[in-house]
Amino acid sequence: MKKRGLTIVILVILTVIIGVIVVDFLNNRPDRRGENPYALEVDQYKVVDPELISHKETRNFDLGLLIASDMSLYDRALYVSGNSSLVVIPLDGRPATMHEILPRATCLEVDQGNIFVGFSTYVAKYSHEGELLQEWPHLGESTVITNLAIKEDKVFVADAGNRRIVIFNREGEQEGEFEGKAESEAGHGFIIPSANFDLAVNSFGELWVVNTGKHALENYSDDGRMRGYWDKASFDIDGFMGCCNPARITVMEDGSFVTSEKGIVRIKIYDQSGELISVVAPPALFKKERSANEEGKAPEVCVDENGVVYALDFDRDVIRVFEPIESE
Amino acid sequence: MEKKDKDKDKGYNRRSFINNGVRLALGVSVVGTAAFTLQRSASGKDYVWQIDPFKCTQCGRCATECVKAESAVKCVHAYALCGYCDLCGGYFKPGAKLQTGAENQLCPTAAIQRKFIEEPYFEYIIDEELCIGCAKCVKGCSAFGNGSLHLQIRHDLCLNCNQCSIATNCPSDAISRVPASEPYIIKGNFTTEEES
C-alpha cells in the first residue's frame, strides 16, 4: 500500500515536470512568442486619410527579367534602364523595343535629341536608335551619379558621392559644378546622406535639386546660384521624414512636384511653394514586411500632361500606373 | 650481498622504466594538445556566433534570449553609412522634438550619445555598457534612415555556447556561425558599394 502511494506520487511529479517542459517548449517557439517589449511602432505613419488620395492604380507594365535602375518619360513612351539594356515602352500599346547599352546604368534622361545614360562615375550619350555616340570622362573618386536633367544645351549630373551637381554641355564638355552653397543661412550646401540625390527641370526651365539632408527642394540658376527653396521636415503626411527624403522627384506641367519617398514608401504631389496637394500612392500600396537589408526603396516617378503618374516599383520590377480619380 | 644488490638494481630499473614511460606519454600528450590548438587557431577553423545584419528583423529577442544576464548582443554603428543627420530616426522617437531630453529619445536605456560635429551634422555614439541589444534604434534607423545602426554579437562578452540560445529563438534565422578570423559583419558605405 505504502509502495503504491509512493509510485503514484512519483508519477504525478514526473507528469508535472514533463508538462512544464512541453508547455515551455511550445511557448518558446519563435512563432508563438509574446509581444516584443521593445517594439517600435511605425505603422501609425503609414496611415493616410482617404480624402487626400487623388489617384488610383489602373494598370502596370511588367518588366520581365529586367532589373530596372531608372525610368524616363518622353514623347508618350517610357524609357527604362536596367542590366545592360534600355527598354522603350510606348504608351499607345505598340510593342516595346530593347537596346543593348553598357552595363550597370544608374539613371537616364531623354529628350528629342538623345538618350543620356548615367553610370556610377560617368555619363554616356546614345541616339534614339540605341547607338552609343559618346562616353564622357569619368568624374573621379567617390563619384556616385544618381540622376540627370536636361535643359536645352546643358546636362546636369547629380553626384551623390561628392554632393555636387556637375554641368556638362551636350558634347560632354564640363562647364562647371556647384555644391549648393550660398551666403545665406539656407545655403549650407547639399547634404546627401545616401545615394538618393535627384533633380529636375520644369516646364518653365527652372532647375530644382533635392537637398535630402534638409528635406528641401532648392531652385538654382543654370550656373548654380540658389534662387529659392522650400523644406518640409515632419513625420506628418504633409512633410518628409527620415534622412533622405524626398528621394526622387519629377515635375508636372504646372510646376507642381511629384515626390517619392524611401523608408516608408509613398508618393505625393506638392505645389510650387511646398504645400501638399494630394497623395498619389499611400504606403499601404507598397511592400509591407522587410528585413533590415530591404529598406523601402523610393519608386522612380514620371508624370504625363494628363497628371497620370508612372511609378517604377523596385520591389516588384513593375511600372505601376496611377491615374487621377475623376471627381463627380 | 651480491644477490641483494642485483635485486635492488632490478627493482630500480623497472620502476624507473615505468616512471619514464609515464613522463614521456604525458609530455607527448601536452605537446600534441598544444600543437593541435596552435594549428587550429592558425588555420582559422574556429567559429563564433554572429548576426547577419542583412537578415535581422529587429524583433527584440537578442535583448532577452541570451544566456548571459547582460546580453552579448550590442548595437554597433557603421559610421561610413551614417548620414550624421540632425533628425536621426535611430535616436529620436518618431515625432519627438529635436532635443536630447529623455522623453525624446528612442533608446530605453539612453545608450546613444548625440554629439554635435558642425552645423548641421551630429555624431551618434553607442555606449555599450548601457546598450541591451533591444534593436529599437536599429528599427528606427532602418525605417527612417540609412540603416547604419545594426546589431552584432560582441565576442568579448559572448560565451560562444555550443548552441546559441538567441539563434534558437531568432525568427529570421539571422544568427549563424562565422569564422573566428572574421567575427563581425559590418555594413558598408554607399560610395564604395560596388568595390565591396
3-state secondary structure A219-283: EECCCCCEEEEEECECCCCCCECCCCCCCEEEECCCCCEEEEECCCCEEEEECCCCCEEEEEECH
Q: Is the pLDDT of residue B2 over 60?
A: no
Residue of B nearest to A213 (CA): B85
Edge-to-edge strand ranges of the sheet holding A318-324: A55-62, A318-324, A309-313, A300-303
Q: SS3 string of A15-37? A: HHHHHHHHHHHHHCCHHHCCCCC
What's at A151, amino acid-wise? K
Does B150 lie at the interface with A, CB-CB under 8 angstroms? yes
**C-alpha dist (Å) from residue A74 to A71, A305, B97:** 10, 11, 43
Tell me the C-alpha distance between A91 and A113, whole Å: 20
For residue B169, the chain A residue with the least C-alpha distance is A30
Lookup: cell for B126 = 553607442
Closest residue in A to B65 (Cα) is A28
A128 interfacial to chain B (CB closer than 8 Å): no
Judged by CB atoms closer than 8 Å, whether chains meet at A213 and B120 is answered as yes
**B183 contact A CB<8A:** no
Extents of the domains making up chain B: 1-43, 47-191
CA distance B72 to B156: 8
Please tell me the distance from the alpha carbon of residue B110 to that of residue B114, in angstroms, as a whole number: 10
Distance CA A213, CA A192 (A): 6
Quickly state the pLDDT bin for A310 (edges 50, 70, 90).
Answer: very high
The predicted complex's ipTM stands at 0.73
Which residues in A lie closer than 8 A to residue B138 (C-beta atoms)?
A: 292
What chain A holds in terms of domains, given with CATH numbers, is 52-324 (2.120.10.30)
Residue A91 has pLDDT above 90, yes or no: yes
Q: How far is B17 from chain A (nearest CA, A)?
A: 55
If you ran DSSP here, which 8-state letter would residue B58 be given? -
Rounded CA separation A117/A24 (Å): 59
Tens of pLDDT along A42-83?
Answer: 888 888 999 999 999 999 999 887 889 999 999 999 999 998
Residues of chain B contacting A36 with CB distance shorter than 8 Å: 59-61
Read off the amino acid at residue A225.
R
Q: Which amino acid would we find at residue A163?
A: R
Chain B, 8 to 37: residues with Cβ < 8 Å from chain A are none
Residues of A in Cβ contact (< 8 Å) with B105: none
Residues on chain B touching A38 (C-beta within 8 angstroms): 60, 63, 108, 134-136
pLDDT, tens digit (0-9, with 9 covering 90-100), for B31-74: 988 887 776 665 545 899 999 998 898 888 999 999 998 899 99
Q: Does the beta carbon of B119 lie under 8 angstroms from any beta carbon of chain A?
A: yes
Q: What is the pLDDT of residue A65?
A: 79
Dihedral over Cα of A39, A44, A45, A47: its sign: positive
